[in-house]
Structure 1
């Protein structure tokens, strides 16, 4: 499997978040070690796996799709 590995700054550019937000808010709460990012060779450097992050963002966006109906009900897509 070919993966695209990104630094925090590169990921920030792709998802339009500040790199500090990724480090302080998303890492280890939304972005999980071993799934969304790795530490190559047991070091301190973090590399994010773009394909996994993109897949999770898209599936989350699709599952959160709701449309309010005229009768007050909510349609979940």
Structure 2
């Protein structure tokens, strides 16, 4: 399966939330590292996995989605 990786700015455009809201309120409370986003190469940059973010918006957080990140 191919994933679509988005920067915070690109995700902001898709879901119509301000990038600051994503970084300060959604990240690590609704969107979790290893499930909804990654930090490639151990760096600071965050890339959101669009397919998983979209699934959470449509269906909410499930135990299946949380187990993907384990």
TM-score range, shorter chain: 0.7 to 0.9
- Normalised to the residue count of structure 1, the TM-score between the two structures is 0.76
The RMSD of aligned alpha carbons is 0.5
> Which stretches in structure 2 are left out of the alignment for 5+ residues?
61-70
Residue in 2 that maps onto 1:32: 32
Residue in 2 that maps onto 1:16: 16
Q: Which has the higher contact order (CA 8 A, sep 6+)?
A: 2
- Normalised to the residue count of structure 2, the TM-score between the two structures is 0.83
**SS of 1:48's equivalent?**
strand
- Indicate the structure with greater strand content: 1
> Which stretches in structure 1 are left out of the alignment for 5+ residues?
61-77
Structure exhibiting the larger radius of gyration computed from Cα positions: 1
Shift of 1:56: 1.1
